[in-house]
Amino acid sequence: MEQSIISESPAPVVADVQLPEYSLAEVATHNKKDDIWIVVHGQVFDVTNYLQDHPGGAEVLLETAGTDATADFEDVGHSEDSRDILQEYLIGTLKDAKKYVSPKAVRVIPQRSQKTAPPSSSSARSVGAIVGALGTATALLYFVNRSNPGAIDMRKAWGQIIPSKLNVSRLPGGEFAHGFIMATAVCALLGSLVAQQAAKFTKIDSGFLRYPPRIKARKRPRADPHLAKGFLDAKEFQRLPLVRKDELASNVYRLVFTLPDQKGVIGLPIGQHVAIRAVVNDTTVSRSYTPVSNNLDLGRLELLVRCYPDGLLSGQYLAKLEVGDEVEFRGPKGSMQYSRGLCTKIGMVAGGTGITPMYQLIRAICEDDRDTTEISLIYANRTENDILLREELEDFARKYPKNFKLWYMLDTAPEVWQYGTGYVTQAVLSERLPSPSPETKILLCGPPPMVSACKKTLVAMGFQKPGAISKIGDQIFCF
């Protein structure tokens, strides 16, 4: 059974308080962004409320959620203040914990520099043998030269090497001394050069001291499944068969299409949409729709569409589709491509079927355990029966209260109604959406009059005015 580890000197436990004891298996169940437990030195901490305040970022805590983080905690080298802060979140102790022993430091033996490092004994013997051989050869050549007048005058040759001031002919020993000294001088010069070359062979150029100190490798980031390529082609329309059609409300349909590969993905980044093309009354018509499915839904593409009776594509084509009919799709399209870390807070205002791009982002953020982005949605409709995806939205709001806050607005509300009624005014926007800041974005999608009014009001509240064409860098983005 896997056990945790504690230090030889664990942090103090509050006196006179009997803390509950947890197993590592129990701790492992608390590994979500809205429920984070960690173990440090045999103590169990609930750091959920510390997620946004952690100096190292929320992702660091998310990576260690539900595990024994002692080694990671000590490896970073936390200060005494941080250890005191951690004690504020102490909730219990770990059952069957082991002592944590810090890794022993590695003793580094300095390597001598190339200039002072002597060659090995075997190399020295090799150099001595070479020098001796050169000396013998030089002496023999000298005597051969003396006995053969036609040979090269070795003394003149040596004179180029031996300084002229050294008059070796006057030294005791006569010609022999003369030859011996010249041979010795030449050998000393050659021996020095040979020794330098030999020393290079004994020097280790690839030793570990040539590399920088060890740096702890970061964990390889998980690939974002929403960026994976899939069925969609941005240039060519492709056909998919309709396999299911459900009427959710009056003229509102959920359309499900199947992909050629049942394990394939549609290849749609979060925030983008698809184009549908059809020939209606001998006219080619194309409209854009945001799927409510994403790359986590293998083998299918799912749309939520309101079919207006007078709509050329929705009313006269999509509303009349039957199971088995094929529809042409192209994509992905759009200038919004959400990724974790885009901002810290998102305010949303949606009306009617304008909920579909919002739902796409809400789902992606809530289903990503590493995404701590806070979302506030105002969803406006005429009546309670017009609310689309209500069950799914309220399920996300219930399961992820720190990520997603939901507020409905109705033109006509029932007698018992806990949300808002009437128009989306400045008072509603100020109360339900985050305040202007560089880390805040507002997303709008719905009927043009509602979007236009909200845009003007948000600018008056201090948000930056968007351009005619929305860009991902805008504070106010209109789908």
- pLDDT at residue 114, as a whole number: 52
Mean pLDDT of the chain: 79
pLDDT in tens, 275-284: 999 999 888 9
Domains and CATH numbers, the chain: 21-94 (3.10.120.10), 227-333 (2.40.30.10), 345-478 (3.40.50.80)
Name the band, by pLDDT with cuts 50, 70 and 90, for residue 76: low
Query: Whole-angstrom Cα distance, residue 118 to residue 143?
Result: 35
The predicted structure's pLDDT at residue 396 = 95
The burial of 419, by beta-carbon neighbours within 10 Å (0-12 exposed, 13-18 middle, 19 or more buried), is given as: middle
Q: Report how far residue 319's alpha carbon sits from residue 90's, in angstroms, rounded to the nearest whole number.
A: 58
Q: Which residue has the higher pLDDT, 119 or 340?
A: 340
**Residues 373, 142: Cα–Cα separation, whole Å:** 91
- φ/ψ of residue 245, rounded to 5: -140, 115
Instruction: Enumerate the known binding-site residues.
Output: 287, 289, 304, 314, 356
**C-alpha to C-alpha distance for 424 and 216, rounded to whole angstroms:** 51
Binding site residue list for FAD: 287, 289, 304, 314, 356
Cα distance between residue 291 and residue 330, in whole Å: 12
Q: What is the pLDDT of residues 386-442, one digit of tens each?
A: 999 999 999 999 999 999 999 999 999 998 999 999 999 999 999 999 999 999 999
**Using 50, 70 and 90 to split pLDDT, how confident is the model at 336?**
confident
The pLDDT value recorded for residue 260 is 94
Q: What is the pLDDT of residue 165?
A: 47
Residues catalogued as catalytic: 273, 289-290, 445
Q: How far apart are CA 409 and CA 405, in angstroms?
A: 14
Q: Are residues 181 and 171 in contact, defined by beta-carbon separation less than 8 angstroms?
A: yes
Tens digits of per-residue pLDDT, 4-49? 443 344 444 444 468 899 999 999 999 888 888 999 889 999 988 7
Percentage of residues in the chain with pLDDT exceeding 70? 68
- pLDDT at residue 319 tops 80: yes
Who has greater pLDDT, 107 or 207?
107
Rounded Cα distance, 395 and 389, in Å: 10
Predicted local confidence at residue 178, as pLDDT = 59
Polymer length in residues for the chain: 479
Q: Tell me, what's the pLDDT at 225?
A: 83
Q: Could you tell me which residue, 363 or 142, shows the higher pLDDT?
A: 363
Residue-wise pLDDT for 138-163, tens only, equals 555 555 455 555 545 555 554 554 45
CB atoms within 10 A of CB 133: 11
- What is the Cα–Cα distance from 66 to 90, expressed in whole angstroms? 14
The pLDDT assigned to 160 comes to 54
| CB-CB contact of 253 with 318 (8 Å) | yes
